[in-house]
Amino acid sequence: MKRRGVVALMGCLAASAGAWGQKPPLLPEKDVAALANELSGESAKRNLEGIARFHRQRGSQGFHAAAELVAERLRAYGLNDVAILQFPADGKILYGTQRSRPAWDAEKGELEEVEDGKEVKEKIASYEAEPIVLTEDSESADITADLVEVGEGTKESDYAGKDVKGKIVLASAQPGAVQDLAVGKFGAVGIVSYAQNQKTAWWGEDENLIRWGHLETFSANKTFAFMVSLKRARVFRERLTRGERIALYASVKAGQHPGNYEVVTATIPGADAKLKEEEIAFSCHLDHQRPGANDNASGCATILEVARTLQKLISEGKLARPARTIRFIWPPEIEGTMAFLTGSAVEERQPKAAGKTGEEHTASFWLTSHIAPRIKAVIHMDMVGGGPETKAVFHVTRGPMSLPSFVHDVTWAFAEWVNEESYKFAATGKAEYPLVAPEGGKEPLRAEYSAYTTGSDHDVYQDSSFGIPAIYLNDWPDRYIHTNFDTAANIDTTKLKRAAFIGSASGYFLALDKPQSYAAIGSTARDLSTAMSRRRVRSVSAAEAQQLYWRHAQYEISSSESEFLWRGENPFDVSGNAMMMFKYGVRRPEEPKATGEGLLTFARKPRPKGPLAVFGYDYFAEHAKAAGVATPKLLSYEGLWGAGEEYAYEVLNFANGKRNAQGIRDAVSAEYGPVPLEMVVEYLRALEKIGVVEQVK
């Protein structure tokens, strides 16, 4: 939902907001015009179509081919320092809180229904035709077995009275949630899953969707699994209910192996002798199943278009070279970002020497542990191209309240302006900057300014161990996410152009030394969002409501102060903001008095770096089990506006040695809804036992 901050609410900058309909914010109009004219949704989509050809699993041949495509385009566009960095991934090496997952490749995966043990009755699934049908982390197999239906397959009661030993089970849950029971405990030899897409209003509506499937990377119960559509599963279930025997032949050649995470990176060097050591980063994630067009070939292709456009305009003198360096990063999701920020790599790149052809490469050592301190802000794109068929809503998602930053307001300034211009064009046919692509739609953008949610690489950057503000551009809902229908045909070139504009304008502005305009930042919708707070506080007590108001106000002022730290001058009168808050009734409430365990204070240790629940590996779960720590109740808590994972993420971020447990509880309650103090303390004590935090006496 659209949210307006206390500054906008109080009207002190309301007049400037109305002017956005005529003039763009923050950048000179000539710079905005240059970006708008050069950015091409069609160019982005051509690159998207190339990326979407590959089945881009971590460490796989398909991922490498996609990485080479991106690197080749970057070289053609004239960017600097183009490299494919390789980080060893063998299942043992740790990158911060992420245990590296071995690479996974597949050559073959076929599932057939057979009669009399050998005669093929029907081909059910083929990896060659549609790679999504073979579940990630499947192992090789050559087996014929009967099919047994086990419902969801995640509870022992699902197997009551059923003999699945030596059989293939048909389950509605993801294979990774089934394998330890079905294979490990009851002796099944394989899995067929019809797990549905992420739940939205369209969940289960299209019976032909096949969802991307995953087995648990580190499970001891290795097996294979195939994914089928709801339509196929329904026929199987009906036949089994009638007492029919269904024999399946599975032929799989696949498996894990030591390999590398590969991260493509390139830069546009900054102009200032000192500030060029600071970087503004554009991030996405390159890995996914084929086609994976919106998730996330769209983000990859869009930052590639941003790279092309900025490089071209700067080299032609149409944009001044910014003071800071701009970096572009294409990693495997989350785990690749963790490796990039904490590890060291071998650089793989094609030599430029004349006469060199083919797959010849030179390798050199490339240390990345120095990168994190250089990166000052990130624009992360994960799903930014969904057209009307996907039912997508475009979000500008700001950071967590533990990391106040004006960076999010910069991006929203441009996004809200695109909203206004695109709506004006859709409604009247006239606008100065409609940002419409020749092959794209003409609908208004209608971007939403959204509260922090977890789920992509922005989690890593904004974790307290890195503390890098990140703006997250993303589509949600998307009816085809993680399915075989996430195709390039559903991608809108106008949407790509608009996302590229919002991202490029934001990144370029942040890379400048002395921007010409601050005024529009103040009139953007800062996340204090009293209007939103009023909606939320209807369901909390009066005391909690006052806390929520006040803490959002404090967050707002901290965002303004972060701008002061960034620029070396303060364009806002923070004390004036505080006075206006008082005038409009946003008064400091009486703080809850901390007693007992509420007085406990914890500080995060310097190592390990990164969020605790990452991707395919749960640092907290593994270390808690080793330490004999029971699962804290907070991890399964459902608040008014947030879930356990988000509460846990922020509790750790707020553990800075200054806030006591009561203060942390109040902070996360303002962000996600009231939570019992005892749950927060239980989680902090668990973190202490596994060595992530320590008590401050």
The Cα–Cα gap between 165 and 546 comes to 59
pLDDT at 356 over 80: no
Q: For 38-66, write each residue's pLDDT tens digit.
A: 999 999 999 999 999 999 999 999 999 99
pLDDT at 580 over 70: no
Q: Which residue has the tokens 């039912």?
A: 391
Strand order in the sheet with 168-171: 119-126, 103-115, 247-257, 141-149, 168-171, 190-193, 225-227
Residue 135: closest CA among 225, 14, 39:
225
Q: What is the mean pLDDT of the chain?
A: 87
Q: What pLDDT is stored for residue 550 in this prediction? A: 64
Confidence class of residue 192 from pLDDT cuts 50, 70 and 90? Answer: very high
Question: Given this model, what pLDDT does residue 525 score?
Answer: 37
Residue 572: the pLDDT is 41
Binned at pLDDT 50, 70 and 90, residue 520 comes out as very low
- Whole-angstrom Cα distance, residue 175 to residue 216? 8
Domain spans of the chain, in order of start: 26-100+259-516, 103-257, 596-695
* Cβ-count burial 505-544 (b if 16+ within 10 Å, e if not): bbbbbbbbeebebebbbbbbbbbbbbebbeebbeebeeeb
* CA distances for 107 relative to 62, 110, 359, angstroms: 11, 10, 21
pLDDT of residue 565: 53
What's the confidence (pLDDT) of residue 526? 41
Planar angle of CA 227, 231, 234, nearest 5 degrees: 95
Predicted pLDDT of residue 134: 98
Quickly state the pLDDT bin for 532 (edges 50, 70, 90): very low
Q: In DSSP terms, which residues pair with 695 in a beta bridge?
A: 602
Summarised one tens digit per residue, pLDDT across range 267-295 is 999 999 999 999 999 999 999 999 999 99
Going by the DSSP 8-state scheme, the letter that residue 612 receives in this structure is S
**More confident site: 578 or 692:** 692
Tokens encoding 16: 């400037």
Distances in Å between the Cα of 306 and the Cα atoms of 71, 179, 376, 495 are 14, 42, 18, 14
Name the CATH topology of 103-257.
Glucose Oxidase; domain 1 (3.50.30)
314, pLDDT greater than 70: yes
Q: Which CATH fold topology does 596-695 show?
A: Arc Repressor Mutant, subunit A (1.10.10)
Backbone angles phi, psi at 72, to 5 degrees: -60, -40
- Asked whether the beta carbons of 264 and 285 are under 8 A apart, the reply is no
What topology is assigned to 26-100+259-516 in CATH?
A: Aminopeptidase (3.40.630)
Q: Which of 49, 333, 391 shows the shortest CA–CA distance to 212? A: 333
Strand partners for 84: 264, 348
pLDDT tops 80 at residue 347: no
For 547-578, the DSSP string reads: HHHHHHHHHHHHHHHHHHHHHSS--S-HHHHH
CA distance 481 to 211: 8
**pLDDT of residue 590 exceeding 80:** no
Terminal Cα distance for the chain, rounded: 42
pLDDT tens digits for 202-249? 988 899 999 999 999 999 999 999 999 999 999 999 999 999 999 999
What does the pLDDT read at residue 217?
Answer: 96
Name the E strands within 386-512. 394-397, 448-450, 470-475
> What pLDDT score does 553 carry?
66
Give CA–CA dist 695/697, Å, rounded.
Answer: 6
As given in the structure block, the two tokens for residue 5 are 């901050």
Q: What is the pLDDT of residues 470-480, one digit of tens each?
A: 999 999 999 99
Distance, CA of 177 to chain centre:
22
356 versus 296: the higher-pLDDT residue is 296
> The pTM is what?
0.90
Handedness of CA 8, 531, 560, 593 (dihedral sign): positive
